[in-house]
Structure 1
Amino acid sequence: MSESKGPLMPLSEPPWLNGAPSPYYDDSHRKLQAACREFIGHNLNRHALDWETAEEVPADLYSTFVEGGFVLPSLPAPLPVEWLHRVGITHMPGGIPVEEWTSVHGMIYADEMSRAGLAGPSGAITTGMAFGVPPLLHYANRQLQDKYLPDLLLGKTRTCIAITEPEAGSDVANITTSAEVSKCGKYYVVNGTKKWITNGVMADYATMAVRTGGEGSGARGISMLYVPLKDKKGVSRRRLKVAGQITAGTSFIEFDDVYVPRENLIGKEGEGMKYVMNNFNHERMFISVGITRQARVALSSAFEYCLKREAFGKTLMDQPVVRHRLAKCAAILEAQQTWVESFAYQLSKLPKTQADKQLGGLTALCKANAGIVLDECARCAVLLFGGNGYTRTGQGELVEKIYRDVPGARIPGGSEDVLLDLAIRQMVKNFREKTAMAKGASRL
């Protein structure tokens, strides 16, 4: 998608960046967006297509973003102010004090990180910080935090989130990777495999779901452990060849009698399932924002192409059937954009525990819908680009790559059908709880 000094290409930016009034954004948001557009545009987005084609990001890319202060914004809001001050960080990009950072700021950052239209290059930077660090912040004891958080927050070390396994994807309660207490009582001995782990080959550690409760213990036997990966005896890692998001480093990790200090237990034994589920809420919201921007890039690229491509004696844009395709996708795209913005605003006003309870199911639904919208917009773009959209080089190479990202939008973070079901189940659960409370109150 080309930059222009003239009017913005229709659908290329969310309405608030196209001059439309909005109740959600203030000067701090605009300062952040300008800072992100400059730094991320220069250091990531202008190279993203080339890197995804080469299937690798530069080795120093993460350190570049660390030095610029553009990794920490992937953390959930509110930020860990005390910890950030302890390591000498007082402001976020755009000069925003860490105390004033909200979910709306986080949404703007996630949107700008995906502005190239590709999930892989941005995922190579953000995934570990966004999804692997929060369990340490929210559930680890002070001793474990003191040992690992400073280096993580300063970008000296990296972690990944390791939940899924070959036989346990969205069915988290079915994981089999075991962590048994050693005979000496000082260690967990970890055995098993993790699959589809983003950033797995890049990370020094894994924030990992393990089974401590033995076979048949189900969700109650799951715990969370902070596991060393780099140069660790018994750990083997390799890249997986996936259809899209190639540069994000999707990995297969095997553990063969890996000794991990028992002090590396995050929170309490048997409560890992709760930690995983709560952690999913930020993950799904962060992913939803990026997917929505990818859909925008795909559709606006098609819009631009249709204005200049001629067929049957006139431009594609002069063909009613083309306008009809664009219109249907534009409607669902802008509806999804509005939903994402509304979610970010609600999250900025609710305490985490309340947001997890009230918005968990809806966040799952928002993520699922984002994938559906991307599928529609990317498919529309490929069809309108025609043969160019089916070719890995040339005019349509970006939309071809975005279309290969679609399964990565609809499966990770909870596959689409699982999330649709989860959303309704949680709505029903919350409704029944409120109904019971109302009946109890009426008896008083």
Structure 2
Amino acid sequence: MANKEFTREDVAKHNKEGDLWIVVDSKVFDLSKFGLMHPGGLSVLLDTEIAGQDATEAFFGLHRYEVLQRPQYSRLQIGTIQGEKQQIFPRPVGGLSTVPYAEPTWLTAGYHSPYYKDHHRAFQKVLRTFVDQTLFPDAQALQEKGKMPSRKVLDEFARLNIHAMRLGPGDHLKGRVLMNGTVKPEEFDAFHELIMSQEMSRIHARGYHDGAAGGTMIGLPAVKNFARPALREKILGEVLDGKKLVCLAISEAFAGSDVAGTRTFATLSDDGKYWTVTGTKKWITNGHFADYFVTGCRTSKGMVVLLIERGEGIETKHINTSYGPASGTAFVTFDHVKVPVEHTLGPDNGGGLVVILSNFNHERWAMCCSSLGAQRIIVEECLKWTTQRKVFGKPLNSQAVIRSKLAAMIARVESAQAWLENVTYQMNHMNYKQQSALLAGQIAFLKKYCTETAQDTARDAVQIFGGRGITKTGMGRFIEHYHTNIGFDAILGGTEDVLGDLGVRQALKQMPKNARL
């Protein structure tokens, strides 16, 4: 019966309790039986501007398009309006948004970019399809349940080599098939990684985002760059193939940005064969379900970094935060844990701080990518909502104050994207030593800017959505989630104040001695 055609006069005859039809975007729905079960009550449906009428505007003032796609509601469709065609369509799976500024300019028709090549565009398309089809539904189902990503998703991460690509370009990609061959290992560069971070941020599930091996992304580089060859190959194989998870265990209740102040101690045995580790770590992403802990410890000579395998003497407790339980954020206790000396990463003579600091630039840069990707989606949500929401008989965006907020949002996200792409280009053309000298300050400032502007955008978005912006369900649920969790990005990898100070100190180091006004 869904293929049957009706006139608007036919629909208008069905306008009372027990015999109630409506039209939404040329589709005719029979709500006669559903009316009493309507979450908003039957009286809403019996409104004279809804019952038997075209309720498109009213519907999209209250519901997201996804409601029409749910089986329990889509089956209520009995036909279409004669001579009319559907006008409103959701973004196709894997497709691009047509909303202005919803995509970076390099993905927007008519714009040009010097940074991206055909293999970048192909990579983006395949990755977005994966996010839409596989990652988003899993994230929405598990975000609030405190569970790590499903085995299906983790297996796909391994099959597509997403774990490996999140470490950035390098020899660890050699011989691996990336995203079903969409990009060759030797082609993979920092822009592919930028694309991956921004696409994966589209899931509207901040805790799950880091739960999907976020700990691996920040912890495994220390193994890759500083482990002894045999250990390196073993751990990389296990983790990149999706068999094990690793996390970075640095922060403590006693030491945050001051990593040198850690109170987790490692004592070398008299025969020099193993370390004994005692202490605690706090706010460890993925720590609750990690198999390996890349752990910063104090010794009699200074700092040392150890790869500690979960086992006797290790206990993890989940930490409840607004971040979302799917991140596996944990309090970790090491109680006289014995660690083979072969699991020392880098120097054991107090040079562990170099190991810890070595990945900070990459970690912070990756956080900029995902923070900015999530912020852009909020801009899209606000542009859509202010167009379809009616106030005083006009779209919400007819209000100058709303347009001012939108202008600020767009300016923030576009300026940050341009800065990010410039830094990414430098990363592609600098070696590690050059990046350490020239980009540490730039990346520190960029992360500070991205997270500060994100908080501004979150606040403006709530004002635009009103009560819906603080409601966990319905039209503003993504805004509520974003606003609730946005503070985490401002802390992870170094707080905004610390990073701002770092950027200035880096600049002062390069001040010429003969500079005068």
State the TM-score, normalizing by the size of structure 2. Answer: 0.78
Query: Map of 1:292-441 to 2, 5 A cutoff?
Result: 292-431=372-511
* Alignment match, 2:309: 228
Aligned residues: 422
Deviations along 1:71-105, one digit per CA (max 9) or x if unpaired, are 2221122x2x2x444xx525455521212211111
- 2:226 equivalent to 1:145: no
Distance 2:427 2:495 in 1: 23
Give the RMSD, CA atoms, in angstroms: 2.0
101, 115, 125: which one aligns with 1:24:
115
- 2:204 equivalent to 1:117: yes
Distance 1:93 1:429 in 2: 45
Deviations along 1:80-136, one digit per CA (max 9) or x if unpaired, are x2x444xx5254555212122111111011111101233322211241331111111
Query: Map of 1:11-410 to 2, 5 A cutoff?
Result: 11-19=101-109, 20-60=111-151, 61-77=153-169, 79=170, 81=171, 83-85=172-174, 88-92=175-179, 94-213=181-300, 221-229=302-310, 232-269=311-348, 270-410=350-490
In the alignment, residue 146 of structure 1 is paired with which amino acid? E
In the alignment, residue 420 of structure 1 is paired with which amino acid? G
Distance 2:359 2:116 in 1: 26
Could you tell me how far 1:372 is from its partner in structure 2? 0.7
Determine if contact 1:159/1:204 at 8 Å carries over to the other structure.
yes
Could you tell me how far 1:57 is from its partner in structure 2? 4.1
Could you tell me how far 1:207 is from its partner in structure 2? 1.0
Of 343-352 and 137-146, deviating more is 137-146
Distance 1:71 1:146, change over 3 A: closer
Could you tell me how far 1:365 is from its partner in structure 2? 1.2
SS of 1:389 mapped into structure 2? helix
SS of 2:209 mapped into structure 1? helix
State the TM-score, normalizing by the size of structure 1. Answer: 0.90
Distance 1:383 1:47, change over 3 A: farther
* Alignment match, 1:218: none
Determine if contact 1:92/1:98 at 8 Å carries over to the other structure.
no
Of 140-149 and 25-34, deviating more is 140-149
Which stretches in structure 2 are left out of the alignment for 5+ residues?
A: 1-63, 66-89
SS of 1:307 mapped into structure 2? helix
SS of 2:102 mapped into structure 1? coil
Determine if contact 1:44/1:121 at 8 Å carries over to the other structure.
no
Determine if contact 2:146/2:328 at 8 Å carries over to the other structure.
no
Distance 2:296 2:390 in 1: 54
Deviations along 1:219-266, one digit per CA (max 9) or x if unpaired, are xx111110112xx11100011111124321111100000000011000
Task: Please tell me whether Structure 1 or Structure 2 has the larger radius of gyration of its CA atoms.
Answer: 2
Distance 1:170 1:7, change over 3 A: closer
Which structure: greater helix fraction? 1
Could you tell me how far 1:415 is from its partner in structure 2? 0.8
Distance 2:437 2:97 in 1: 43
Identity of aligned residues (%): 34
Determine if contact 2:157/2:242 at 8 Å carries over to the other structure.
no
Deviations along 1:258-297, one digit per CA (max 9) or x if unpaired, are 0000110001021111121121111101111000011111
In the alignment, residue 148 of structure 1 is paired with which amino acid? I
Distance 1:50 1:148, change over 3 A: closer
Distance 1:134 1:58 in 2: 22
